[in-house]
């Protein structure tokens, strides 16, 4: 149930805690999952999220999911690039203030403890090497901490602690929902197995190209950067775009730095997800293949929302829910 809507009577068995997993751009699929649950009359009575799951879950808890979805689905590649405030000499490529400012303007400022839906953002404390459950304070401070992918985003300072991406230790943070009074726990894992067993599901180059048309000329990254830094930023972006090209054309090229980082993160999070789900299984698991998108392909939002909705409907049908 959207937090903007007045509370209504919910049918027995329909109050759920939603666990939204980490996975970069694939986490946009969480929007489609929520849409599918709402369409079947489920009420989300609690949310725990890591990384992109914390972002989508927090925006939903604040009652602004539709506005976020419209905004995200309108993003082109050049729009995504303009949201990246590249930095040099910091422990990360991107400061993250620009995208957080854009989201704060879209969603508004909220305190977690004032949200109408209990919400937990999960981050990782580098000093203690433990996961941290953020359940109070400013919503976007918690989101910024949870999405701080090491080496990509600079770490977040939160109440005196240096925090990074919650997906490092808890890519599917089920434990954070166990105290919520709900009928069932539904977890969404966007690091699911690749569908190689079914070749019909493998991405085809022509499908990846569909809807993109001719490549747009990207704006120069770091337009306000000092002299000499702009070329370095352009080289970083070239590494990103170079890693996208082989998947779309089938041509062999050396793997770009961001593609290597993406694959490495996927490998780590997929393994951690399997461990978490085996140790603490939810009542219902909804999975999206890790091959659905790389962690930085935020310009594929519309497609990923649809993939999330389809995955949720398939899992709900299989469970008879």
Longest CA pairwise span in the chain (Å)? 63
Q: How many residues does the chain have?
A: 321
Q: Which of 51, 146, 273, 289 is catalytic?
A: 51
Sequence-ordered strand ranges (E) for the chain: 15-20, 43-50, 92-94, 119-125, 130-134, 151-153, 156-158, 161-165, 184-192, 284-289
Q: Which long-range contacts (CB under 8 A, 24 or more apart) does 262-271 make?
A: 262/24, 262/294, 262/295, 262/296, 265/24, 265/149, 265/167, 265/295, 266/23, 266/191, 266/290, 266/295, 268/168, 269/22, 269/23, 269/167, 269/171, 269/191, 270/191, 270/192, 270/193
Contacts of 247 (CB under 8 A, 6+ apart): 203, 205, 208
Extended strands (E) in 9-68: 15-20, 43-50
What phi and psi, each to the nearest 5 degrees, are found at residue 192? -70, 170
> Measuring CA to CA, which residue among 111, 117, 104, 107 is closest to residue 16?
117
Q: For this structure, is 51 an active site residue? A: yes
User: Among this protein's residues, is 146 annotated catalytic?
Assistant: no
User: For 54-65, b where at least 16 C-beta lie within 10 A, e where not — what string?
Assistant: bbbbbbbbbbbb
Name the catalytic one among 85, 141, 165, 259.
165
CA gap 277, 187 in Å, rounded: 9
Residue positions annotated with a catalytic role: 51, 165
């Amino acid at each position: 149930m959207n937090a903007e809507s007045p509370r209504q009577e919910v049918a027995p068995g329909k109050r759920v805690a939603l666990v939204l997993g980490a996975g970069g751009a694939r986490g946009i699929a969480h929007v489609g999952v929520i849409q599918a649950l709402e369409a079947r009359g489920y009420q989300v009575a609690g949310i725990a999220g890591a990384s992109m799951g914390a972002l989508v879950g927090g925006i939903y808890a604040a009652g602004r999911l539709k506005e976020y979805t419209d905004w995200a689905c309108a993003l082109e590649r050049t729009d995504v690039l303009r949201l990246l405030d590249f930095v040099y000499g910091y422990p990360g490529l991107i400061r993250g203030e620009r995208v957080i400012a854009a989201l704060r303007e879209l969603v508004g400022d909220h305190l977690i403890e004032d949200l109408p839906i209990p919400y937990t953002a999960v981050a990782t404390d580098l000093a203690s090497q433990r996961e941290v459950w953020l359940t109070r304070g400013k919503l976007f401070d918690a989101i910024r901490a949870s999405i701080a992918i090491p080496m990509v985003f600079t770490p977040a300072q939160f109440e005196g602690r240096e925090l990074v991406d919650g997906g490092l230790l808890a890519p599917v943070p089920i434990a954070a929902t166990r105290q919520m009074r709900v009928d069932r726990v539904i977890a969404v894992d966007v690091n699911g197995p690749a569908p190689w067993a079914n070749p019909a599901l493998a991405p085809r180059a022509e499908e990846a190209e569909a809807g993109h048309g001719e490549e747009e000329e990207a704006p120069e990254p770091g337009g306000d950067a000092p002299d000499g830094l702009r070329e370095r930023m352009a080289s970083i972006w070239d590494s990103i775009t170079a890693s996208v090209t082989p998947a779309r054309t089938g041509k062999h090229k050396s793997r770009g730095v961001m593609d290597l980082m993406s694959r490495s993160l996927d490998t780590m999070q997929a393994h951690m997800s399997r461990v978490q789900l085996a140790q603490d299984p939810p009542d219902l698991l909804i999975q999206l293949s890790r091959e659905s998108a790389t962690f930085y392909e935020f310009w594929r939002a519309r497609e990923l929302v649809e993939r999330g909705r389809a995955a949720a409907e398939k899992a709900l049908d299989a469970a008879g829910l």
